[in-house]
Amino acid sequence: MNKPVVVSEEAPVAPVLVPDVTPGFAAATAAGRAARSAVAGPAYVVLAGISFSHFLNDTMQSLIASVYPILKDSYALDYAQIGMITLAFQFTASLLQPLVGHFTDRRAQPFSLAIGMGFTFFGLLLLSVAHSYGIILIAASLVGLGSAVFHPESARIARLASGGRYGFAQSVFQLGGSFGTSMGPVLAALIVVPFGQPSIAWFSSIAFLAIVILWQIGAWYRPQIVTKKAVTVERHPDAPDRRRVMVALLVLVALVFSKQLYVSSLSSYYIFYLIEKFGVSTQGAQLYLFIFLAANAAGAFFGGPLGDRFGRKYVIWFSILGALPFTLALPHAGLFASAVLTVFIGLILSSATSSIIVFAQELMPHRFGMISGVFFGVAFGIGGLGAAVLGKLADHAGIAFVYQLCAFLPAIGLLAVLLPKMPRHPR
C-alpha cells in the first residue's frame, strides 16, 4: 500500500509499444488490452490528442492578454494594473506547476488533466461576468490554476507516447500550445471586441471539449502506470556530475528567463505599442500580434526534431542568440518592417523551447513531471512577474523604452557555453 506509483519510463532501446489504433482513444485502450499486433514507435493518436488539448488550453489562456484593451477601457486600468492581471494568471501556474509535477512523479493521476481543465472552464465563466478588478484577478488566477495542473502531466504523456523521439514529441506538444496562443488575439478580434466581455463565456465550450478529450487520454494513460519498488537509476558514465547538472539547470533557467520575458513583453504590450506608435486600430493590432505568435508556434515545432538530429545544445545556441539582431532592430523599424522582424524573432526564439525542456529532462531522468513543472512554472512565473515590472516601467518611461530595453534580453543566451555535453543516449 505504501509503494509509490510511478510511470514506467521508456528507454531508447525499448520504446512504448503502441497498439494498432482504431478510431477513438477508448478503442485504442481496448485494443491495447487485447492481444492485437503492436507497432513500436510514437503513439500518434495520443500525441495528436495531447497537442490539440494544448492548443485548446493555450487558446483560452491567450484570451486574457488579448482582451486587455477592452478591460483597460472598461475599468480605466493603467499599465501596472494590466501587468498585475498577467501576474495573477501566471503566478498560480508558476507556484503550483513544480508541486504538481513532483506529486505526479510519485503518484500519477491519469484523469487530473480533465479535472484541472475544469478550473479553466469556471475561470472563463467568471471573467465573462466580472464587474470589478478584484473579480478579474480571481478569474485570471483560476485559469492559471488550470494551466498548473495541465502542463507537467501532459508533458509526461507526450514523452510516454514519443516512441523514443523525445524532441519530436515535445515539439508536437509545444506546437499545439504555441498555435493556441496565436489564435487568442484572432478570436478576440473576431468575437470579443465586437460582442464585448460577456462573449468570453462562449469560450467555455472550448474548455468543455478539452475536458472530454483529456478524459479519453486519461483512459489511455492509466494502463501505462505501474506500481513498483523505487530503484536506483544507474548514471551513464559520460553523464555530467551533480554539480554540473545543477549549473546546467541554472543556465537553462536563465535562458528561459531571457526567452520568456521577451515573449511576454510582446504578448502583453505589443498591441499597445502598435496603437501608440503607429495608430493601428485594436483589431488591427491583434492581427499583428497573431503574426508574431503564429511564427512562435512554427519555431516551437521545428526546434525539437532539429535537436534530435543535430543536438539540443546547438539548437539552444542558435535560437537564443540568433534572435538578437532582430530584437535590436525592432524598436527602430516601421510598421511593415516590425511585422517582418517579429516573424523572424518568433521563429528563431521559440525553437529553443522543446530543446530546453528535453535537455533538462535528460539532466534529471525519472523526474520528468517535476522538471517539466519547474520549467513551465518558471516560464509562466517570469512572464507574469516580468509583465508586471514592464507595465510599471511603461507607465513611467513609455512603451517604446520598454522595447528598447528588452531588445538586449537574448544576449543572455551567451550562458549556453556553460551547458555540458550530454551522452548520446542518456539513461
Amino acid 341: pLDDT: 95
Q: What is the pLDDT at residue 339?
A: 93
405 CB-contact burial (10 Å; exposed 0-12 / middle 13-18 / buried 19+): middle
Contact 103, 368 (CB under 8 A): no
Tell me what pLDDT residue 52 has. Answer: 92
Q: Cα separation of 254 and 257, whole Å?
A: 5
Say if residues 86 and 388 touch (Cβ distance below 8 Å).
Answer: yes
pLDDT given for residue 317 in this prediction? 84
Residue 163 phi/psi, 5-degree rounding, is 65, 25
Tens digit of each residue's pLDDT, the chain (427 residues): 444 444 444 433 333 344 444 444 444 444 444 333 334 456 888 888 998 998 998 888 877 777 788 888 888 888 888 878 878 887 787 777 877 777 777 777 788 889 889 999 999 999 888 888 889 999 989 988 888 888 888 888 888 888 878 888 888 887 887 778 778 777 877 888 788 788 888 888 888 999 999 999 988 888 877 544 444 445 555 667 788 888 888 889 888 888 888 887 887 788 888 998 899 988 888 889 889 888 887 887 787 788 778 888 888 888 877 899 999 999 999 999 999 999 999 899 888 877 888 888 788 876 767 777 777 777 666 766 777 788 888 888 888 888 888 899 888 888 888 888 776 554 3
pLDDT for the residue numbered 343: 94
Give the orientation angle of helix 399-406 with respect to helix 242-278, to 10 degrees.
150
What does the pLDDT read at residue 138? 92
pLDDT of residue 332: 92
Could you tell me the sign of the dihedral formed by the alpha carbons of 166, 267, 141, 203, in that order?
Answer: negative
SS3 14: strand
Q: What is the DSSP string of 303-355?
A: HHHHHHHH-HHHHHHHHHHTTHHHHHHGGG--HHHHHHHHHHHHHHHHTHHHH
pLDDT of the residue at 419: 87
The helix (run of H) or strand (run of E) holding residue 118 is helix 112-129
Specify the 3-state DSSP secondary structure of 101: helix
- Return d(Cα 275, Cα 306) in angstroms, integer: 37
Q: What is the pLDDT of residue 188?
A: 78
